[in-house]
Amino acid sequence: MDVQIFGVKNDATVRKALRFFKERRIAVHFVDFKERAPAKGELQRFFQRFGEDAVVDRESKRFQALGLQAAHYGADRWMDIAAEEPLILRMPLVRQGKHLTVGLAEDTWKEWVGR
């Protein structure tokens, strides 16, 4: 079982996700948004599954700094913005095969591990 975690290392929920899988000795591929922006194809999976309201973190510091509070864009535009400014995303984004989660989802991860 391989897991991909997308986020930034200094985010508490990302650290919890990394620790969760490390404690269970599951291989993790971590993509740090501060080093590399997410691929649009990767983001598209999350946007299609959960929608922009679940994926975009309207409370994040970067979202506020960009002045996007009053913006009402479609999913495609939000995906373009997130590809350029990944710090507006809710973290962590976790993928295991075709399974996806947004944010801290330990119950779902336990189901993955239990299989």
Look at residue 76 and give its three-state secondary structure. helix
Domain ranges of the chain: 2-114
- pLDDT, tens digit (0-9, with 9 covering 90-100), for 78-106: 999 999 999 999 999 999 999 999 999 99
CA 14 to each of CA 71, 77, 92, 104: distance values in angstroms, whole numbers, following the listed order = 27, 25, 5, 8
Confidence of residue 37 (pLDDT cuts 50, 70, 90): confident
Say how far apart CA 25 and CA 28 lie, in whole Å: 9
Q: Which residues of 93-111 are buried (b: 16+ CB within 10 A; e: fewer)?
A: bbbbeeebbbbbbeeebee
Tell me the whole-structure pTM to 2 decimals.
Answer: 0.90
According to CATH, the topology of domain 2-114 is Glutaredoxin (3.40.30)
Question: pLDDT, tens digit, for every residue of 19-31?
Answer: 999 999 999 999 9
Predicted confidence at residue 71, as pLDDT, reads 84
Residue 57 has pLDDT above 70, yes or no: yes
Taking 3-state DSSP, the helix, strand and coil percentages for the chain, each rounded to the nearest 5, stand at: 45, 20, 35
